[in-house]
Amino acid sequence: MPTCTPSFRSEADLLSPADTPSGVAPSGAFHGSQLDVADALLTLLGATGTEPRPDVQLEALTLAVAADLPVLLWGEPGIGKTAALTQLAAALDLPLTTVIASVHEPSDFSGLPVIGDDPAEQGVPMAPPDWAVRLVRAGRGLLFLDELSTAPPAVQAALLRLVLERRIGALRLPPAVRIVAAANPRSSAADGWELSAPLANRFVHLQWTHDHDVVVRGLGGTWPRAALPRLDPEELPAAVDFARRAVTGFLTARPTLVHQLPANEARRGGAWPSPRSWEMTLRLIAFATAAGSSREVLALLVRGTVGDGPGLELLAAVDRMDLPDPESLLADPAGAVLPERGDLRQAVLDGVVDAVRKRPERTRWDAAWALLARAMETGAPDLVVVPATTLATLRREDWDVPASIERLSGAVALSRRADRAAARIAGAAKAGTAKAGR
């Protein structure tokens, strides 16, 4: 069987149409040079589409962009940060301006001095770079500061005014210009630096990771569609009120978290709580509430603004804000609607028992038992064990035992037997370990 060997053509051949015996291009042939054919192939490869697809990372990014807060995407090289920003700019119809921070001098962001005819009278204005002028002329755009973690400290210091005040030299960027940056962790950055604490505290930090399904479908030609959140105009005042109550109420209870500069240099380069970052958090909660965003999206944004610890505490406080009033539940236990999530349901039941403890009355005690019985019927029975045990200790001698207790006694007894069995197993395991060590 004859073998087929590749035919290598010279550079001159690539730049001219292929000859045919008849001198006429075959049917369906591309009329043009081989570089034109290559360009056509590249065009086909770049012709991708989008589809509405749930993407928590992308939704968090677009929400922060809508809130006009600077965003910093952290991710390993090649994870898709630049591609995500390019797609975001195209979806929002914003001209994209990319600036590689690490290859610029501090004067590129603070402005170059231009000496005029009479500096003593006119001063020395600071001329902005050309990309800043183009953004001002356009009046809108997406400024992408790439490779932020490879920018030296002097450049990071020059970026402070740009990120916070949107000023470059004598120019001020229009309100319709949004700022997004990207950085690689120091371990994977080329000649990386830790981000300075003042610069880091000006960003919403989002960890950018790849989703296998999104990547596979995107390589097939369809990527998730980025879209600004739809804010309900009627919900705006309530969203602002909710955000203010959430943040101020939390900081009233946790005053030490108003400002907490991390002692570790690496952690200073991430999200940490300060009055500035709490103000950003308040804005994000208001936007997420008005947009009806999921708790997962809100968690990414809050933790990316004030850090994991304070962020998780705040999220727990926000969850409790939505809990029903214990007095309302005691007034109508039959019509009570309890949270589906186990931790929130547990908090509601504990709150009801605490309300009875503060004002112990026979009718309230009976209503609490009816509520516990309803909770056992509509959720996990083990959640009523602790509240039921505590509620039983509040009984007065002249109070009859309500019939609803009978429905709870089995769950309480089963839970206690399970606890005793677990204690015996743990004790036996501990004894076995001690014996083996002798």
Does residue 117 carry a pLDDT above 80?
no
Amino acid residing at 118: D
Which among 150, 128, 16 has a CA at the least distance from the CA of 77? Answer: 150
At the topology level, CATH places domain 50-115+123-224 in: Rossmann fold (3.40.50)
Structure tokens that stand for 242 in this block? 């909710």
Amino acid residing at 323: L
Question: Can you give 145-204 as a three-state secondary structure string?
Answer: EECHHHCCHHHHHHHHHHHHHCEECCEECCCCEEEEEEECCHHHCCCCCCCCHHHHCCCE
Quick one: pLDDT at residue 275? 97
Which helix (H) or strand (E) covers residue 110, if one does?
A: helix 107-110
Quick one: pLDDT at residue 201? 94
How far apart are the C-alpha atoms of 424 and 20, rounded to whole Å? 89
Identify whether the C-beta of residue 208 lies closer than 8 Å to the C-beta of residue 87: no
Give the three-class secondary structure for 216.
Answer: helix
Quick one: pLDDT at residue 298? 95
How far apart are the C-alpha atoms of 400 and 365, rounded to whole Å? 10
Does residue 369 carry a pLDDT above 50?
yes
Identify whether the C-beta of residue 412 lies closer than 8 Å to the C-beta of residue 389: yes
Does residue 16 carry a pLDDT above 50?
no
Average pLDDT, the chain: 82
- The mean per-residue pLDDT over the stretch 101-115 comes to 79
Dihedral pair phi/psi, residue 180, rounded to 5°: -130, 135
- The mean per-residue pLDDT over the stretch 384-393 comes to 86
How far apart are the C-alpha atoms of 115 and 121, rounded to whole Å? 11
What Rg, from alpha-carbon coordinates, does the chain have?
31
Pairing, β 71-74 against β 204-207? parallel
Quick one: pLDDT at residue 12? 45
154-199, pLDDT tens digit by residue?
Answer: 888 889 989 988 888 778 999 999 999 999 886 665 566 788 899 9
Q: Each residue of 317-327: b (16+ CB within 10 Å) or e?
A: bbebeeeeebe
How far apart are the C-alpha atoms of 84 and 92, rounded to whole Å? 12
DSSP state, residue 260? -
193-220, pLDDT tens digit by residue?
Answer: 788 899 999 999 999 988 888 888 888 8
Does residue 65 carry a pLDDT above 90?
yes
Task: Report which of residues 75 and 274 the model is more confident about.
Answer: 274
Q: What is the pTM of this model?
A: 0.72
